[in-house]
Structures are given as C-alpha cells and as structure tokens.
Amino acid sequence: MFESVEDVGVRLREQGYICGKNIATVVYLATQLEKPVLVEGPAGVGKTELAKVVAAATGRELIRLQCYEGLDEAKALYEWEYSKQLLYTQILKDKFAESMAGATSLREAAARVGREDSVFFSDRFIVPRPLLRAIRAEEPTLLLIDEVDKSDPEFEAFLLEVLSDFQVTVPEIGTLTARTLPFVFLTSNDAREMSDALKRRCLHLYIDFPDEKVEVEILDSKVPGIEQRLAQELVGVMQRLRKLDLKKTPSISETLDWARALLALNASDLDEALVRDTLNVILKYEGDIRKAEGELGRLITRKTEEKAETAPPPPAKKGVLH
Amino acid sequence: MQSKIVEFTNLLRKSGVRVSTAESIDAFQALDELSLGDREVFQDALRATMVKRSADIPTFDQLFELYWSAFYDNLRGAFEQAGESMGGEGFDLELLLKQIQEGIRSLEGELDLSELAKALLTQDLSQLEQMIRDAADQAGIQRIENMLQLGFFTRRTMEQLNSEGAGRELRDLAQQLRESGMPDVQVEALLELIEKFLEALRKGVRSYTERELQQQNFDYMEKFRRESLLEKSFYNLTEEEIKRMREVVNRLAQRIKNVLSIRKRRRKRGKLDLHTMLRRNMGHGGVPFEMVFKERRKDRPKLVILCDVSSSVANVSRFMLQFVHSLQECFTKIRSFVFVAELGEVTQVFKDEEINAAIEKALDGGEAINVYTRSNFGQAFHYFWRNYLSAVDHRTTFLILGDARNNYNDPRTWCLREIHTKAKNVVWLNPESPSAWGFGDSVMDKYLPHVDAAEECRNLKQLSRIVDKLIL
C-alpha cells in the first residue's frame, strides 16, 4: 500500500491532507502490521477526515459505521429483512400450497416447510450492515468506526471479537470470514475511556491541534485565494483563542469556516470590529463569545506587535495534522 | 536493541503507564518495519504501539527523552567537543583521522586493539553507547541512590570498560606509528586526540550515570507527587494542583456517568408492551416480529446540594463547588444552592457559565445572597424549608457541604428534620474532623440525628470514597 513513512506523507498531501510525521508513521505502521488504528483527539482536528483520505489514497472503498448510544449488533452487523420475507411468503403462497399438496399429516407438512428454510434465510434476505459489508467485500476496504466512545461497553466487547479475527457467524448461513483484511480506523473523542483490551489491539494515534505553521498551510490548501497575510493573522488569533479556557475550543474546521466567511465579506485585514461581528462563526457558546469579546483587544493587538518585530514562527516541533 | 526496548518498557511500567506484553511485541514488529535512523519516527512508532492513553503521552515523551535521547546526545556532544577543541590553526580532524587509518593499515598484522580502543578511534558512538551500558550494568549501576555516588559509579564503570588499558594501547599505537615513519606533528596531534577522546568517554560515562540516577528517581518522584496531592487538604492549593485536582474530579464524574449509563440500560427492559407492539407490527401483517417493552420507571438519583461559602471554608467550598459543577454535568435532576446566612440558588449559574466563572459567581453569592455576613445554618435551612421544600422528594439525596459553625445562632434543627423526613437521604460533608464536631460554635452534633451519613471531607481521597457511597 505505502512504501515508506515519507510516501504516506506525500500521498496524503496529494489528497489535500497535510499531516505531520507522527501521523504518517502510525498510518504506515498500521498498514504494515495490519492493525487497527485508534485515533483520539479533540473534536474537529480531522480524525474522520484522516480515514477518508487514507481510503482515497489507497483506492479502498470506505465503509463507515457511526457509533451512538444504543447501537447494537443488528445495526452494525446484519439484519434479516422481515418485511421482504413476509412479502415473498405472500407472493409464493401458491407455490407453498403446491409443495404442500401431497402431505397427509401436519407433521409431514411442517417437515416440508422446514426443508425450504434456507430459501428465506439466505443472502437474498439479509441486510448487511457496515461490519458485514466490510467482511464480505470482494475488494479490500477501509472500515471507519466513528466515535466509538459513544457506543456502549457491550458493543465494544462485540467489536473486539469482530476485529480480532474478522469473521462472524450467522446462525442460519454459517461462518463468514473476510476475504481481504480491511484496514480499520476507530475514532474517539474521549467521552469514555475505551477498554484496555480494545486499546491493546490497536495502534494509538493522538491528534492535537496543529501548530501555527501547519495550520496556515492547511488554510492555504483548503481555502484557495486567501491572502497569505490574512491567513497568518487569522491563524494567530485562532491559536491564541485556543489558549483561553473555553467550553468548546475552536477547531480547524472553524478556522476554515471563518476564513471562508472573511473571504465572502471581502475582508483583507482583521480588525476588532470585524472579529467581533464574525465571532459567532468560530465560537458556538454564548459564554465563550462573551469571554472572547473581553479578550478581543489582546487577541488582536498582540498580533500587530508581533508583526512589528517580525519574529519568525517557531519551528514545528510536533508533527501535526490537518 | 531488544534489551533496551524491554528495559524501556519496564521503565514505562514503573512510571504508571500500562504496557502489556502484546504491546511490547507490537513495538518490536513496528521497529522491524522502519529504519531506525530517524529518531522522530522511532519515537512515534514506540508511542503508537505502547501508549494507549492520551494522558500518558507527556510521561512517555519525558521518559523517552530521558532514556533514548539525553545520553546519546551527551555522548555525541562530548565527542564533537573533543574534535573541535583540537582545532589549532589549519588543523583538519578528518585528514588526521584518515592519515591514522592509513597508518594503521600499513601496520597490518602487528595490531591487536581492544574493542574499546577501536570504537574510540573510529568514533563509533552506537558501539560505545552499548559498551558503556554493559559496563555500567556490571558495575552495579542499578544500586545508585544519590548524587554522592555519581563519582564512584563513573569510576567503577570506567574501570569495567578498561579505559586505561585502551588508553595505553592507543598510546602504543601512536608509538608504533611514529616508528613506522609518521611525521612527529601528526603523532603529537594523535596523542592529544587520544587524551581528548578518553576525556569525552569519561564525560559520556558520567552522563550515563547521571541519567541512571534520574531514572531511578523518576517514578519515585512521580509517585510522591501524586500521593502528596491526594493527601493534601483543600486549604493551600497552587494553580497546578488545582488543575490536577480538576482532572481527578472529572474522572470521578466520568465514573459516575458510566455507572448511570449501566443503570439506564438495565432499566430498558420492562414488561411487554402489548399495545405499542401490535401497533408497530401492523406493517408485518400483525405478526409480532419486533418486541416492544415498557420502559421501567427511571431511577435517576435526584440531588439537592447546599454549599456553605462563608469565609471560614472559602478554600474548601471553591473545590466543593468545582465538584458540584462536575456533578451538574452528569445529573439532569440537580439543584444547587449556596448559603452563608441567606440562601440562594445557583443551578442556572452553573448551567450557563463555564466552570471558573461559575465558581467565582457562586462564591460571590450568585447575585442572590450577601456573603459578607456570618454563617447561620439555622437560618439557611429555615429559608430552604420555607421556599424550596418542594424540590425534595422521596428520591432526592440532600447533600450539605459545610462546617456547621453556626456562630452561636439558633440551629433550628427542626428544619433539617423536616427535610430529612421528605428526602431519600441526607448526606453531610464536613471539612472538619469528627473530633471537632460539637465543640466551640459547631452545632454538628445537633444536626447529626437528622443526617443519614456525615463524613469528614477535606481532601480528594475522602471525597472519592464518599462518592462511591453516594452513587453505587
């Protein structure tokens, strides 16, 4: 799939995903060791996006399973299509009567119906859910299990079983084994600590907010047409905003939204009034907005001072993402 | 390499990072796949395979630095320095080394150098690193305990390495080179270089023993830090400690949440709900394919909290309010009040404001009460009884946080009695120790008959124990 760590970086970049070495290393290792990757980090740093671009870069089909409280096997693995089965029995009534024709006793009739069992419990009537689809796929796939922390502990245990050997048993049909091992990504927002058993089977990747340099780069690639100076100012404000103690720290998607909003407003320079007016694009809570408004002067003036000094941005120490 | 990884794994474990055997095997496999030239990649690979909790990442990074980078970097630094310090006018280290290599080649056959001497001469740092590690092990470096032993262990390790022998060999080599016709200038330079390298080696060994000492102490220090924090009373907290405290409280709250979600799921299956089931299965021709169960009555604990914010418990109540805030994020049915003499509700404040602002507001009386009076529990309870008694029912846990120092006012115990009869249970968390209850202006003893559980709660350890009781 990938030739080296550098290759991962280059090919993800081709898909428009800018990432640091740490992400590339883990992705490369996961493909080599054929292990699932558990991706953690704050909301909006591109955890799900990573899975999507890896799928695109490797040409695999992306199969996504969104987790939520109460998600069970029927929704994740497979389900029998009751109404279709029912419909077929209705339509095939005559056929049944035919095959039943010679039966003399009730017992014999039941036995004959029994023989036809497999007609109704076959591939035709099964609704494959994401996990089964990943297992039955002809081509290699990428299975994304999104927000796995939202699922219940029982489901996690079940997931463990599926992930360990990629086979499931459907009582009426038999055991299905994956033809090709899917590449698995699990994402978590840390709403719940995952069990050690699950963590042990996965490689762990923690994605944090990007540093200034990487964020500007992301902005450049995602919002074409933005002026370099505006991008830098904007990212500077965002970086300082993240240091405030906010209820919801603005993420990269908010940076992008904000940049697009500013472009739409034809802004070429950040000033206090403009930031105040557009603050609701980046902050989602009333309390946060009020807090940021209080700090507004500091958020922006600090930037102008820095500009006067023209201090070069600190070298990227931690490799980061998108 | 393998032994180093195993050692590093042990170090992680000692510092409280859980690494299973399967995970260290993963690490080996991962390293097989990668070229080890790049330290960053190496670090990422180890981190991805061994560290599975984001909270452990800082510990890992710190240990990695300590274990893998610091010593090697020091060794390299020492040798670079040795090379640089040779620089007289027009001196070329590379050239000298090349000439020495040539000289050695011409001596071929008569030369019998020890491993160490060879490694020194070729500046084979990774070889040296391994040799120092082995020698230090043999010198019993694991037993190092304090700064005073640094010199001793450095010397022992040097002896173990037989550095003097290597020095002698090298000087002999220089002599041989001189005899074989190497110009004097070069031989002099070589002799100087040998001394410099030996010095660099000593520095390297020294830095290794220092590192070893740090390593022995690291987990010990970390453990000490945690223990002392748990035992520490809520009075006198620094910023950093408050931060750590908040993390622990959040973890507690998380545990409560988990327990609640288990309850919720157990609750799900009640009796068969015939009506709804028939209606839902109309689509299947009335054949009941999907079962529908009645939901059992929700057994979600209700909580009413009264928090004393008078100046005598200022530091404690700040923490307590933090705890209340976390609780409020978990429970939907919760009402919080603060009081000194008057009583005011702060539920909404806690819901709207971010934690620090909320605590500040609550400490300020939540815009409802005057905090600059003397505490009067009797009056506060009376006020609650008169205005908020409807908030209490047979499913409510009534939680009081305060020291019961009533300033010799009337305790009005009947109010608490009335509340007690209505509530499921009444819990009192008192920052003072039980031996002080009832002494001076404390009226704790008068309230005790109307309280189901009274606990001393001044620090985190006590609090976490009480939380277990309260919820489980």
Residue A229 pLDDT more than 70? yes
pLDDT of residue B467: 64
Q: Is the pLDDT of residue B472 over 50?
A: no
Mutation for A interface: B354, B355, B356, B359, most A CBs within 10 A = B354
Provide the CB-side half-sphere exposure for B348 (13 A, CA): 6
User: Residue B293 is encoded by which pair of tokens?
Assistant: 């169960």
Domain range annotation of chain B: 2-17+53-229, 244-267+300-471, 269-298
Residue B193 has pLDDT above 80, yes or no: yes
**Helix (H) or strand (E) run with residue A140 in it:** none
> Which among B29, B41, B54 has CB closest to A190?
B54
State chain A's mean pLDDT as an integer: 83
pLDDT of residue A146: 92
pLDDT value of position A220: 87
- The full 3-state SS of chain B, as one line of letters, equals CHHHHHHHHHHHHHCCCCCCHHHHHHHHHHHHHCCCCCHHHHHHHHHHHHCCCHHHHHHHHHHHHHHHHHHHHHHHHHHHHHHHHCCCCCCCHHHHHHHHHHHHHHCCCCCCCCHHHHHHHHCCHHHHHHHHHHHHHHCCHHHCCCHHHHHHHHHHHHHHHCHHHHHHHHHHHHHHHHHCCCCHHHHHHHHHHHHHHHHHHHHHHHHHHHHHHHHHHHHHHHHHHHHHHHHCCCCCCCHHHHHHHHHHHHHHHHHHHHHHHHHHHHHHCCCECHHHHHHHHHHHCCCCCCCCECCCCCCCCEEEEEEECCHHHHHHHHHHHHHHHHHHHHCCCEEEEEECCCEEECHHHHHHCCHHHHHHHHHCCCCCCCCCCCCCHHHHHHHHHHHHHHHCCCCEEEEEECCCECCCCCCCHHHHHHHHHHCCEEEEEECCCHHHCCCCCECHHHHHHHCCEEEECCCHHHHHHHHHHHHC
Nearest of A126, A188, A134 to residue A163 by alpha carbon = A134
pLDDT band for position B213 (50/70/90)?
Answer: confident
Q: What is the pLDDT of residue B329?
A: 67
pLDDT tens track for B86-113: 765 556 777 777 777 777 777 666 667 7
Q: Which residue of B has its CA nearest to A71?
A: B265
The four Cα atoms B373, B378, B379, B381 give a dihedral, to 10 degrees, of: 120
Q: Name the amino acid, one letter, at B416.
A: L
Q: How close is the nearest chain B Cα to the Cα of A206, in Å?
A: 7
pLDDT of residue B269 exceeding 70: no
From B440's Cα to the closest Cα of chain A, the distance in A is: 42
Q: Which of A46-50, A158-162, B132-136 has the highest mean pLDDT?
A: A46-50
Spell out which residues of chain B touch residue A32, defining contact as CB-CB under 8 Å: 30, 33
Element (H, E) at A39: strand A37-40
According to DSSP, residue A295 is labeled: H
CA angle B363, B367, B370 (to 5 degrees): 70
Provide the Cα torsion B7, B11, B17, B19; round to 10°: 10
- Count Cα atoms within 13 angstroms, Cβ side, for A148: 31
Chain A interface residues (partner B, CB cutoff 8 A): 5, 21-22, 25-26, 28-29, 32-33, 35, 38, 40-41, 69, 82-83, 86, 152, 190, 192-193, 196, 199-200, 202-206, 245-247, 286-288, 291, 319
* Shortest distance, CA B27 to any CA of chain A (angstroms): 10
Task: Residue count of chain B, please give it.
Answer: 472
* Nearest Cα residue in chain B from A70: B265
Q: What is the pLDDT of residue A310?
A: 45
| Separation CA A291–CA A281 (nearest Å) | 15
- Summarised one tens digit per residue, pLDDT across range A190-224 is 767 778 888 888 999 998 888 888 888 888 888 88
For residue A27, the model assigns a pLDDT of 92
Which are the contacts of B262, defined by CB distance < 8 A and separation ≥ 6?
none
Q: Which of B30, B261, B285 is opposite residue A33, by nearest beta carbon? A: B30
Q: Tell me the two tokens of residue B377.
A: 């529990």
Overall residue count recorded for chain A in this entry: 322
Alpha-carbon distance B385 to nearest alpha carbon in chain A (angstroms): 33
Residues of B in contact with A163 (CB under 8 A): none
Mean pLDDT value across residues B281-301: 72
- Per CB-CB distance under 8 Å, the chain A contacts of B57 are 206
CB contacts under 8 A, B 325-384 vs A, are 352-354, 356-357
Instruction: Find chain A residues with C-beta within 8 A of B330's C-beta.
Output: none
Interchain proximity B44–A26, CB inside 8 Å = yes
* CA pair distance B465, B472, nearest whole angstrom: 11
Mutate to test the interface with B, among A6, A19, A33, A207 (most CBs of B within 10 A): A33
**Confidence at A309, pLDDT banded by 50, 70, 90:** very low
Q: Cα separations (Å) of B376 from A88, B287, B313, B380, B384?
A: 77, 66, 13, 6, 13
* Cβ–Cβ under 8 Å, residues A143 and A131: yes
Tokens of B329: 């994020």
Closest CA to A38 of A192, A195, A184: A184
B296 contact A CB<8A: no
Q: How far is A207 from chain B (nearest CA, A)?
A: 10
Residues of A in contact with B33 (CB under 8 A): 28-29, 32-33
**Which residue of A86, A192, A291 is in closest CB contact with B285?**
A86
Structure-block tokens of residue A20: 């640091």
pLDDT for A316 equals: 46
CA distance B88 to B93: 10
Distance CA A301, CA A237 (A): 10
pLDDT(B3) > 60: yes
Residue B441 pLDDT:
86
The answer to whether A212 and A241 have CB atoms below 8 angstroms apart is no
Q: Are B344 and B366 in contact (CB under 8 A)?
A: yes
pLDDT in tens, A13-37: 888 888 888 899 999 999 988 889 9
What is the chain B residue with the closest CA to A87?
Answer: B284
Q: Which is more confidently placed, A52 or B327? A: A52
**Does the beta-carbon distance from A287 to B283 stay under 8 Å?**
no
Q: Is the pLDDT of residue B230 over 60?
A: no
Contact between A287 and B353 using a beta-carbon 8 Å cutoff: yes
Task: State percent of chain B over pLDDT 90.
Answer: 3
CA torsion sign for B451, B452, B457, B463 is negative
Mean pLDDT of B285-303: 71
Number of inter-chain CB pairs under 8 A, A vs B: 87
Q: Tell which residue, B53, B396, B453, has the closest CA to residue B251.
A: B53
Is the Cβ pair A21, B44 closer than 8 Å?
Answer: yes
Residue among B354, B374, B372 at smallest CA distance from B363: B372
Of chain B, the end-to-end C-alpha distance in Å amounts to: 48
With an 8 Å Cβ cutoff, is B49 touching chain A? yes
In chain B, % of residues over pLDDT 70: 80
Is residue A161 scored above 70 in pLDDT? yes
Nearest CA in chain A to B31: A29
Which residue among A33, A200, A288 sits closest to B29, beta carbon to beta carbon?
Answer: A33
Pairing state between β A141-146 and A167-170: unpaired
C-beta pairs of B53-58 under 8 Å, 24+ apart in sequence? B53/A193, B53/A199, B53/A204, B53/B17, B53/B18, B54/A40, B54/A41, B54/A190, B54/A206, B56/B16, B56/B17, B57/A206
The whole-angstrom separation of Cα B454 and Cα B168 is 77
pLDDT score at B61:
85
Residue A187 has pLDDT above 90, yes or no: yes
B45-101: per-residue pLDDT in tens?
Answer: 899 999 887 778 887 888 888 777 777 777 888 888 877 777 655 567 777 777 777
Give the minimum alpha-carbon distance from A268 to chain B in angstroms, rounded to a whole number.
33
What's residue B71's pLDDT?
Answer: 75
CATH homologous superfamily, domain B244-267+300-471: von Willebrand factor, type A domain (3.40.50.410)
- Mean pLDDT (whole number) for B422-448: 87
Distance of alpha carbon B328 from alpha carbon B348, whole angstroms? 10
Mean of pLDDT over chain B = 78
